[in-house]
């Protein structure tokens, strides 16, 4: 097995790249929807004001889009450089949605982006509007295929292990695409992007109101953004509820860690903060039953039986069966040419225990517990900040409709300063999703320490710090260009 330091540095490098990339993706998804709606208003009314408003936010969208592409490309390359064992083991499955995203969704998005950004005076209004909406749809399609790939890592379905090629091979593409985890994750991620775009537009627009500039532009942008943002927030709530149910079903350890639940049971409470609980609420969220059974960390490690009589193996039993599977696999490979009958017996043993194959790489059951404190608080940051932003958008919309927003300078400052919070909530959500899956790269199938490439530790450390420098430079450049464009403002006559 590879050394622990290499695994941890490889994980940190991937987390760094993914974290930076996710700074750009949500804003791309959110601004794409807002820009498309604004241009639809322009085409419907013929008012040049909406054209100029659309073009301003489209400029910020383009800046963010360009930088996001660079981080995304680097992210995908890391599967081959840092996680070659993973890529070999499941590349037939994981690579399919990534290929579809690159060939279809991204090219669709990029092609119509060119028309959207450069085609204002070259194509008709309706064709340009169609290009804008197709860019928005393309961004969502890019997200859906990436999230299908990621969700397969959370809940692997639609494949079989081939001991002759030592690879998992896809047998049911439909199961991969309609993975229930993927459906929940797609809506949760896309609509959280709508919240990000909305909070961004509201905050920048409030800055204009504070400066007493472009008042009509700012208020019109706020009106569109609050509608998009509140719709997104409600959708995030419903998709988050679905994600909780899926986690309880497919990843109970993640759910238990997110709640800091050591010992589960029926009518499990929901922890707001340590020492403050809502009775039965976790059971309601996880099972939609006030008395639903939710296993805790100790239950999962020690084994448990649900009230309906379904027995779940202990961690030690899974580890033992995993080692049996690994031994049977080795015997099959050794005997398949020299002793076909013995090889057939070994293969049957492998197939009987293949569900636990990954557990054979686990040394002790304590490895199966992710960092509870980090996941627990990340979940509360995500939910708490999300709730605050939803309330903020509602108050901003309410005051804007009553033409009182511009006089509430404290609220304008609060909206402006809340822009970083929406990014904090997004990063916290991905910490729950990805760190909560540890120690697995593919939940229950392939542990992280068995997926890493055989590269030198110094190479990973060097590239880690190189990426820190490059990505930070990308972020600073984007922020500088955006701030310059914001200070210049839209080309709209002041009221």
Q: Given this model, what pLDDT does residue 101 score?
A: 82
Name which of 353, 71, 415, 23 is nearest 219 in CA terms.
Answer: 415
Range of the domain at 148: 17-263+359-488
Distance CA 40, CA 429 (A): 32
Contacts with 81 (C-beta within 8 Å, 6 or more apart), sequence order = 453, 455
The residue written with tokens 């309706």 in the block is 126
Tens digits of per-residue pLDDT, 271-304? 999 989 999 999 999 999 999 999 999 999 999 9
Torsion of CA 419, 423, 428, 433, to 10 degrees: 140
Q: Given this model, what pLDDT does residue 493 score?
A: 47
In a domain, 281, yes or no: no
pLDDT confidence tier of residue 70, bands split at 50, 70 and 90:
confident
Distance CA 178, CA 328 (A): 32
In a domain, 412, yes or no: yes
In a domain, 368, yes or no: yes
pLDDT confidence tier of residue 41, bands split at 50, 70 and 90:
very high
* Phi and psi based region of residue 137 (left: phi greater than 0; alpha: psi -120 to 50; beta: remaining): alpha
* pLDDT greater than 90 at residue 481: yes
In a domain, 66, yes or no: yes
Tens digits of per-residue pLDDT, 203-231? 999 999 999 999 999 999 999 999 999 99
> Would the CA dihedral through 479, 482, 488, 490 be positive or negative?
negative
Tens digits of per-residue pLDDT, 347-359? 999 999 999 999 9
Q: Given this model, what pLDDT does residue 492 score?
A: 52
Nearest 5°: phi and psi at 278?
-110, 115
Tens digits of per-residue pLDDT, 225-270? 999 999 999 999 999 999 999 999 999 999 999 999 999 999 999 9
In a domain, 257, yes or no: yes
In a domain, 1, yes or no: no
* pLDDT greater than 70 at residue 176: yes
* pLDDT greater than 50 at residue 431: yes
In a domain, 295, yes or no: no
Assigned token pair, 366: 């304590």
Supply the Cα-derived Rg of the chain in whole angstroms.
Answer: 25
Strands (E), 276-430: 276-278, 293-294, 304-305, 311-312
* pLDDT greater than 70 at residue 495: no
Number of structural domains, the chain?
1
205 and 225 Cβ atoms separated by less than 8 Å? yes
Check residue 329 and report its DSSP letter.
Answer: H
Q: Given this model, what pLDDT does residue 2 score?
A: 55
* Phi and psi based region of residue 213 (left: phi greater than 0; alpha: psi -120 to 50; beta: remaining): beta
Q: Given this model, what pLDDT does residue 47 score?
A: 94
Q: How far is CA 432 from the centre of its chain?
A: 10
315 to 323, 354, 362: CA distances (angstroms): 12, 15, 10
In a domain, 330, yes or no: no
Which of 43-52, 77-86, 167-176 is least confident?
77-86
Please give the average per-residue pLDDT across 404-408, as a whole number: 94
Kindly tell me the burial class for residue 84, based on how many C-beta atoms sit within 10 Å of its own C-beta (0-12, 13-18, 19 or more): middle
Contacts with 42 (C-beta within 8 Å, 6 or more apart), sequence order = 48, 50, 51, 53, 54, 125
């Amino acid at each position: 097995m590879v050394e622990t330091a290499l695994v941890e540095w490889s994980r940190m490098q991937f987390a760094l790249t993914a974290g930076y990339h996710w700074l750009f993706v949500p804003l791309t998804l959110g601004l794409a929807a807002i820009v498309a709606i604004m241009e639809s208003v322009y085409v419907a009314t013929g008012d040049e004001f909406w054209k100029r408003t659309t073009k301003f936010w489209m400029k910020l969208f383009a800046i963010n889009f360009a930088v996001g592409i660079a981080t995304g490309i680097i992210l995908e390359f890391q599967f081959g450089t840092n996680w070659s064992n993973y890529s070999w083991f499941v590349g037939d499955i994981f690579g399919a949605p990534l290929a579809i995203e690159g060939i279809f969704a991204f090219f669709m998005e990029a092609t119509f982006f060119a028309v959207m950004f450069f085609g204002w005076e070259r194509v008709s209004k309706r064709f340009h509007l169609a290009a804008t909406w197709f860019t928005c749809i393309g961004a969502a399609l890019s997200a859906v295929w990436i999230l299908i790939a990621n969700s397969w890592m959370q809940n692997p379905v639609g494949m079989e292990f081939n001991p002759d090629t030592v690879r998992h091979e896809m047998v049911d593409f439909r199961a991969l695409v309609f993975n229930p985890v993927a459906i929940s994750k797609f809506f949760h991620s896309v609509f959280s992007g709508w919240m990000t775009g909305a909070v961004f537009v509201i905050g920048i627009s409030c800055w204009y109101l504070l400066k007493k500039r472009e008042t009509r532009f700012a208020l019109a942008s706020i009106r569109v953004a609050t509608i998009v943002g509140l719709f997104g927030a409600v959708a995030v709530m419903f998709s988050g509820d679905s994600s909780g149910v899926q986690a309880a079903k497919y990843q109970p350890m993640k759910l238990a860690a997110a709640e800091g639940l050591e010992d589960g049971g029926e009518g499990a409470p929901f922890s707001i903060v340590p020492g403050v609980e809502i009775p039965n609420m976790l059971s309601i969220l996880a099972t939609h039953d006030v008395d639903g059974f939710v296993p805790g960390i100790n239950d999962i490690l020690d084994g448990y039986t649900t009230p309906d009589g379904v027995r779940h193996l202990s961690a030690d039993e899974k580890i033992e069966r995993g080692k049996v599977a690994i031994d049977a696999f080795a015997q099959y490979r050794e005997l398949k040419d020299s002793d076909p009958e013995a090889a057939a017996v070994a293969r049957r043993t492998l197939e009987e225990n293949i569900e636990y194959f990954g557990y054979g790489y686990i040394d002790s059951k304590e490895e199966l517990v992710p960092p509870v404190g980090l996941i627990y608080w990340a979940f509360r940051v995500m939910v708490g900040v999300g709730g605050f932003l939803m309330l903020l958008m509602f108050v901003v919309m309410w005051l804007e409709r009553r033409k009182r927003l511009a006089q509430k300078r404290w609220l304008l400052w609060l909206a402006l300063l809340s822009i970083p919070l929406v990014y904090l909530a997004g990063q916290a959500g991905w910490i729950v999703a990805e760190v909560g899956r540890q120690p697995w790269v593919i939940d229950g199938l392939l542990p992280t320490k068995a997926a890493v490439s055989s590269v030198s530790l110094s190479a990973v450390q060097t590239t880690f710090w190189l990426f820190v420098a490059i990505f930070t430079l990308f972020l600073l450049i984007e922020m500088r260009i955006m701030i310059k464009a914001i200070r210049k403002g839209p080309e709209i006559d002041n009221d």
